[in-house]
Structures are given as C-alpha cells and as structure tokens.
Amino acid sequence: MQIDISVENELAVAVISGEIDGKTAPQAQSELLPAMGSCGKIVIEMSGVTYLSSAGLRTLLLLYRQAVAKNGKIALVGLSEEIKDVMSMTGFLKFFAVENTLEDGKRSLN
C-alpha cells in the first residue's frame, strides 16, 4: 500500500493505492488521521485500491468519527465496484461523499 498526501487550499487530499488489510490498515490510519487537520475534511482518492478488508473499514470508521467531531466530511473517490459492495453491505457507504473524480470529490467538500 502507498499513500501520498498533499494539501491544496487547506484541503487534504490523500491518494492511496494497493491493498488495505490487517497489515497495512494501521499505517493508513496513522497517516490519514493527522492529515485531516482542524477542518475535519479529507478527499481520499482510492481508484488504485484493489482490496479493503474489515481492518480498512475500521480505519474509515475512525476517520469518519474524527470528521464528525470537527464538523467536517470525507469524500471517497474512485471506489471499485467490489469495495462499494462491501461498504454498502456493511452500512458504511452512505456516510461518505462518494465521487467518481478528484475534482468532484474536492467540490463535494466545499
């Protein structure tokens, strides 16, 4: 798994690729949580993510809680059909702004 984080106009944008499982989810968590900053907003570009296990869902849950605590929001961009299915089945999907492009993801948080 690889994560690149940048900040554009005070909005954090993370691009993740690879597999998010029990091995890599803790790393994702420790990089993404501080990246959200004080506004509690982050766009996560995930079109390169090929796998997400329950460990990854747990990371998204913690991110979401931090976002809510700061009145922020999280946008997930480019989710694969399989990951969307898993997030929908577990009742996660509707709590995130789900977008197809990075531009739409950024716009959805403004």
Structure tokens at 109: 């948080």
Return d(Cα 103, Cα 94) in angstroms, integer.
20
Which residue of 5, 35, 39, 61 would you call a contact of another protein, by CB under 8 A?
Answer: 61
Distance between CA atoms of 27 and 20, rounded to whole angstroms? 9
51 binds another protein (CB under 8 A): yes
97 binds another protein (CB under 8 A): no
| Cβ–Cβ under 8 Å, residues 46 and 7 | no
Which of 11/61 has CB closer to another protein? 61
In the complex, which residues of this chain contact another protein (CB under 8 A)?
A: 19, 21-23, 51, 53-55, 57-58, 61, 64-65, 68, 81-82, 85-86, 89-92, 95
